[in-house]
Structure 1
């Protein structure tokens, strides 16, 4: 013989309908998926956890555009790749049609710019793990001016894609000072005003390397209806090295 409820009606509702309604109310509200994120690009032992927190927030789009700073100085002002890319997890196919549409907006194909650029490649296994069917467009920016970032963001907004802006933040400063600078810059970015963001970069002497990709992603996101940028994770290299006298800051940021 089954045990009958004793505490229904006191500790919890007596009716099935009320039980189900109350249980449903306890469930966390689903977070809105992000149309774009900022993800760090250091070695995974330093920034991998933060990168995963960023990329997992993306909408599961069929195509992901990864926009990076050009650390080598090789190639065009904005260089688009039309190659497929390989990582230890296998091959990720290029969305050739999307890549061509970006180039048609006044940019250029240039594979040389990508040959020794790390800041796109390190993002790809996260995409492959989380979105196995996704295709890729890789874009690297040598010209990170406000004008070019805005132009690229507007071009991306015409496509059915998700965007990853690949960037680390302040480099090689004491941890407390670095975070103060970066938090001030990110406060300026919160409302998706890229001019305010650029002004804050200058005012705070922030050495974020991918400010152009971040601005392009913010422009894209605003065009897509996003209202704000939100920090979802923070770490720094000193947490790994146990030396916070000179760190690089890493943020996961979503545009929602």
Structure 2
């Protein structure tokens, strides 16, 4: 059992690290940040069993930049969903985002409408998750609606020698579909890669803590690379 777990770790960590963007240049700006996230997902079955396929999503984030010295971004992201089966669900949600330095020179609020398809599957290696999301973004700094596509893939590999712990790796790619008057060029926007440890406190509560690398492409300013301590709490009801 220990040998099989070591084999999983042997390929997962290098794969995630090699997938991190290698686009840094002398002109890129780098920063150390700390991001905190709390996400609660559950079923409306507690109201009535006939509503068990209908889901809710409540998420809050705080992102601290400039060497974790200031609140640089905060987010509230609720949604309603429907479970197609035990593996797949579809979602429709809203998000409010406040953004400040170092992500922008002028602080602003952003509102989003978003849709996503979520797939979770148990595999021989661990739990695989795919999340495909489409966003319509409205910012007070411009009049255009910015459309953005996001693809997220994640693998959580349980540790045989410590059943409540798992090695977690994920990557998310962001692509701007159109060129809005406030969001820069269309095309590739950013990439995020995470490697860390997950811990199940019980069936409903899980934490994931680790390192995230965020690369942001900017058309009219130096690109950004952030080294992030990512702390996450997931509540599943």
The normalised TM-score by structure 1 is: 0.25
Larger RCO: 1 or 2 (CA < 8 Å, sep 6+): 1
Structure number, greater radius of gyration: 1
Q: Which structure: greater strand fraction?
A: 2
